[in-house]
């Protein structure tokens, strides 16, 4: 049987475009299958990209990024009390707010200019391994290649269709978001992490400043939605109202977020298959940064290089070199570094008990009522009220350090 | 802002046929109907002792793939569907 391309890339988002650009530069013929009418049509991100990987891929001086993020703010709310702190670094050009329906088409155009063929409006229905290659079934007929790069996002349709994995509610978060028109003069690019805005649900909220809009939303564990009393559909509106954001709402969107962590990563490769980006469960939350897009670009680029090596060997079944290359790169090294912090970012106490503990401790420290206790005693007392010990607190603190 | 108004801001190219199928026999046995809480688009609404599917509201987040603990929802991405303008 003949092949339609050296590599079929399923999905024309960041991972898929990075993989295809790299593979074409390596001299391979590449076909990208994108279900949207354009790249980005189906993509939603919270809205912040760390651009180090993108810089390795393309010249970003013309990239339609929104604003450099120069201010990091944490806002922790516990009923009427609130804690906030900010860090400003006006010169930073390390990360930018981004709107994917604007950014992805730009990257797709770059890829097309370098010879990547993208087939839009092409919905992949499944894949099968046969005759030393992979057959990809689409709404436009079957396509074949010796190697498939899966870049179809968090729902990982190819891996599921091959029986390599199942999706589980506890390893997924739901992200809901609104894009709101920015009122008043342009502000500096700010990323706000909002704690205590989603009630009993396990998760948090965010707000990013774009060029002339704001992205605000929430990310919550699916299993906590199933068990709780809140409706996903109400989350963003509640947050918008509690923040007093009154600008015109321009778009309402939703997307799943992979929440696996290094210790629970899904299979990253199989015979004739390399898995990248969200489909590979690549996401880091270490308490300081939440990042997936640079890991998508990084893993995509590595998949493109690995594809060349695999096909040169003439054994597309043997794809293990891809995982070895990922392990040598920032992608899996950073996933590994963040693994203990990530486990903490998955704990009930982080979302519920710690914010309240912090608020109650500060409330007592900032109050004078005759006999005064030391901070350590106050922390100890407040912790034990919540079934926590100082040792436990210190252990958790060490996890993020 | 009301959910339907918010969904009305989005650009859809709705398929003729639903991309979501529900096994009503299983659905009938489920009291809680967590899918209603999980779906951010209000695609699932209670109708008697089963759910009614408004597939044209779907934001294609994929939560439907895990929303039902009894696997009564069969979800595939639509051929048309949403085109985000900001994303």
Task: Give pLDDT tens digits for A122-172.
Answer: 999 999 999 899 999 999 999 999 999 999 999 999 999 999 999 999 999
> Is A92 in CB contact (< 8 Å) with chain B?
no
- Of A308, A336, A335, A303, residue with least CA distance to A322: A303
Nearest residue in chain A measured CA to CA from B86? A101
Q: Which CATH architecture has domain B3-7+18-76?
A: 2-Layer Sandwich (3.30)
Question: Could you read off the pLDDT of A159-183 as tens digits, one per residue?
Answer: 999 999 999 999 999 999 999 999 8
Cα separation, A85 vs A192, whole angstroms: 10
Whether ipTM tops 0.95, in short, is yes
- pLDDT for residue A347: 87
Query: Is there a contact between A232 and B60 if contact means CB atoms under 8 Å apart?
Result: no
Q: What tokens appear for A193 in the block?
A: 């992490």
Q: What is the pLDDT of residue A223?
A: 97
CB nearest to A101's CB, from B61, B79, B84: B84
Q: Are residues A118 and A50 in the same domain?
A: yes
The whole-number average pLDDT for the span A322-339 is 98
Same domain? For A378 and A289 the reply is: no
Domain residues for the domain of A375 are 352-399
d(CA A330, CA A339): 14
Please give the model's pTM, rounded to 2 decimal places. 0.97
Q: At what angle do helices A390-399 and A375-385 cross, to 10 degrees?
A: 100
Q: Distances in Å between the alpha carbon of A191 and those of A10, A73, A94, A239, A291?
A: 31, 6, 13, 15, 13
**Is the pLDDT assigned to residue A111 strictly greater than 70?**
yes
Q: Are residues A33 and A148 in the same domain?
A: yes
Structure tokens at A393: 């607190």
* B79 in A contact zone (CB under 8 Å): yes
Question: Each residue of B63-83: pLDDT tens digit?
Answer: 999 999 999 999 999 999 999
Q: For residue A270, what are the CA distances in angstroms to A12, A133, A298?
A: 21, 12, 19
- A28 & A137 share domain: yes
Judge whether A139 is closer than 8 Å to chain B, CB to CB: yes
Tell me what pLDDT residue A220 has: 97
Is there a contact between A174 and A36 (Cβ–Cβ < 8 Å)?
no
DSSP string, A277-339: GGGGT--EE-SS-EESHHHHHHHHHHHHHHHHHHHHHT-TT--HHHHHHHHHSHHHHHHHHTH
Return residues 1-20 of B near A (CB < 8 Å): 1, 3, 6-7, 9-10, 13
The reply to whether A312 falls in a domain is yes
Contacts of B16 in chain A (CB under 8 A): none
Beta strands in A24-152 (DSSP E): 30-33, 48-50, 71-78, 81-88, 95-97, 117-119, 124-130, 133-138, 141-145, 147-150
CA pair distance B55, A351, nearest whole angstrom: 33
Task: Please compute, for residue A372, the number of CA atoms within 13 A of its CA located in the half-sphere on the CB side.
Answer: 7
The reported pLDDT for the residue numbered A346 is 86
By Cβ distance, the residue of A172, A226, A255 closest to B69 is A226
**Nearest in space to A118 (alpha carbons), one of A279, A4, A10:** A10
- Tell me the pLDDT band of A1, cut-offs 50, 70 and 90: low
Cβ of residue A253 closer than 8 Å to a chain B Cβ: yes
A117 and A151 housed in the same domain: yes
- Classify residue A345: in a domain, yes or no: no
Number of domains in chain A: 2
Residue A102 at interface with chain B, using a CB cutoff of 8 Å: yes
**CB < 8 Å from B in window 15-54 of A:** 35-38, 40-45
Q: How far apart are CA A353 and CA A340, in angstroms?
A: 19
pLDDT per residue as tens digits for the range A359-373: 999 999 999 998 999
Q: Do A388 and A299 fall into the same domain?
A: no
Task: Indicate whether A115 and A34 sit together in one domain.
Answer: yes
Tell whether A241 is within 8 A of chain B (Cβ). Answer: no
Residue A56's domain is classified under what CATH number?
3.50.50.60
């Amino acid at each position: 049987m003949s092949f339609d391309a050296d590599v079929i890339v399923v999905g024309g988002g960041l991972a898929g475009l990075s993989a295809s650009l790299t593979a074409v530069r390596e001299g391979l013929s590449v076909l990208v299958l994108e279900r949207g009418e354009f790249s980005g049509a189906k993509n939603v991100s919270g809205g912040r990209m760390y651009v180090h990987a993108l810089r390795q891929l393309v010249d970003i001086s013309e990239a339609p990024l929104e604003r450099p993020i120069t201010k990091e703010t944490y806002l922790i709310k516990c009923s009427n009390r609130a804690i906030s702190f900010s860090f400003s670094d006006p010169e930073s050009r390390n990360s930018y707010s981004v709107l994917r329906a604007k950014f992805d088409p730009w990257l797709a155009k770059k890829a097309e200019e370098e010879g990547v063929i993208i087939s839009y409006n092409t919905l992949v229905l499944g894949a099968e391994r046969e005759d030393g290659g992979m057959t990809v079934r689409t709404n436009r007929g079957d396509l074949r290649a010796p190697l498939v790069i899966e870049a179809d996002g968090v729902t990982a349709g190819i891996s599921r269709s091959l029986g390599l994995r199942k999706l589980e509610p506890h390893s997924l978060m739901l992200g809901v978001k609104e894009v709101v028109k920015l009122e008043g003069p342009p502000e500096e690019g700010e990323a706000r992490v909002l704690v205590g805005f989603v009630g009993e649900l396990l998760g948090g909220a965010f707000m990013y400043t774009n060029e002339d809009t704001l992205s605000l939303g929430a990310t919550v564990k699916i299993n906590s939605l199933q068990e709780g009393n809140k409706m996903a559909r109400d989350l963003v509106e509640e947050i918008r109202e509690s923040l007093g954001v009154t600008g015109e709402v321009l778009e309402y969107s939703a997307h799943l977020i992979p929440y696996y962590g290094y210790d629970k990563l899904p299979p990253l490769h199989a015979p004739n298959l390399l898995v990248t980006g969200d489909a590979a469960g690549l996401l880091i939350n270490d308490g300081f940064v939440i990042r997936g897009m640079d890991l998508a670009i990084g893993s995509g680029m590595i998949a493109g290089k690995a594809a060349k090596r695999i096909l040169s060997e003439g054994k597309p079944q043997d794809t293990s070199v891809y995982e070895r290359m990922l392990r040598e790169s920032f992608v899996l090294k950073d996933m590994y570094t963040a693994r203990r912090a990530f486990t903490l970012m998955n704990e009930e106490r982080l979302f519920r008990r710690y914010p309240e503990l912090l608020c109650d401790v500060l409330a007592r420290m900032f109050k004078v009522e005759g006999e005064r206790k030391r901070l350590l005693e106050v922390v100890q007392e407040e912790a034990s009220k919540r079934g926590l010990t100082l040792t436990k607190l210190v252990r958790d603190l060490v996890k993020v350090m | 802002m009301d959910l339907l108004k918010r969904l009305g801001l989005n650009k859809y190219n709705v398929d003729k046929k639903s991309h979501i199928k529900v096994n009503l026999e299983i659905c009938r046995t489920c009291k809680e109907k967590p899918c209603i809480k999980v779906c951010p688009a209000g695609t699932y609404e209670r109708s008697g002792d089963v759910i009614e599917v408004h597939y044209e509201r779907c934001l294609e987040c994929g939560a439907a793939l895990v929303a039902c603990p009894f696997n009564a929802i069969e979800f595939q991405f639509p051929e048309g569907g949403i085109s985000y303008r900001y994303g």
